[in-house]
Amino acid sequence: QSVLTQPPSVSGAPGQRVTISCTGSNSNIGEGYDVHWYQQFPGKAPKFLIYGNSNRPSGVPDRFSGSKSGTSASLAITGLQAEDEADYYCQSYDSSLSGVVFGGGTKLTVL
Amino acid sequence: EVHLVESGGGLVQPGRSLRLSCEGSGFTFDDFAMHWVRQAPGKGLEWVSGIGWNSINIDYADSVKGRFTTSRDNAKNSLYLQMNSLRPEDTALYYCTKQTLGDEPQGYQGLDVWGQGTTVTVSS
Which residues of chain A have a CB within 8 Å of the CB of B37?
100, 102
Instruction: State the average pLDDT over residues A19-33.
Output: 97
For residue B108, the model assigns a pLDDT of 87
Neighbours of B22 (CB within 10 A): 25
Least reliable range by pLDDT among B67-71, B90-94, B107-111: B107-111
The fraction of chain A above a pLDDT of 70, given in percent, is 100
SS (H, E, C) chain B: CCEEEEECCEEECCCCCEEEEEEEECCCHHHCCEEEEEECCCCCEEEEEEECCCCCCEEECCCCCCCEEEEEEHHHCEEEEEECCCCHHHCEEEEEEEECCCCCCCCCCCEEEECCCEEEEECC
For residue B62, the model assigns a pLDDT of 95
In contact, A110 and A99? CB cutoff 8 Å: no
**Residues of chain A in Cβ contact (below 8 Å) with chain B:** 2, 33-34, 36, 38, 45-48, 51-52, 57, 89, 91-94, 97-105
Residue A75 Cα, gap to closest chain B Cα (Å) = 15
For residue A1, the model assigns a pLDDT of 82
Which residues of chain A have a CB within 8 Å of the CB of B113?
48
Q: For A74-96, write each residue's pLDDT tens digit.
A: 999 999 999 999 999 999 999 99
8-state DSSP, B55: S
In contact, B67 and B82? CB cutoff 8 Å: no
| Secondary structure class of B41 (helix, strand, coil) | coil
Which residues of chain A have a CB within 8 Å of the CB of B115?
45
Q: For B92-106, write each residue's pLDDT tens digit.
A: 999 999 999 988 888
For residue A106, the model assigns a pLDDT of 98
What is the identity of the amino acid at B18? L
Residue A61 parent element (H or E): none
Which residues of chain B have a CB within 8 Å of the CB of A45?
95, 114-117
- In this complex, the residue of B47, B113, B117 whose CB is nearest that of residue A100 is B47
Neighbours of B96 (CB within 10 A): 29
C-alpha B78/C-alpha A51 separation (Å) is 25
In contact, B23 and B5? CB cutoff 8 Å: yes
C-alpha B46/C-alpha B38 separation (Å) is 5
- pLDDT class of A48 with cuts at 50, 70, 90: very high
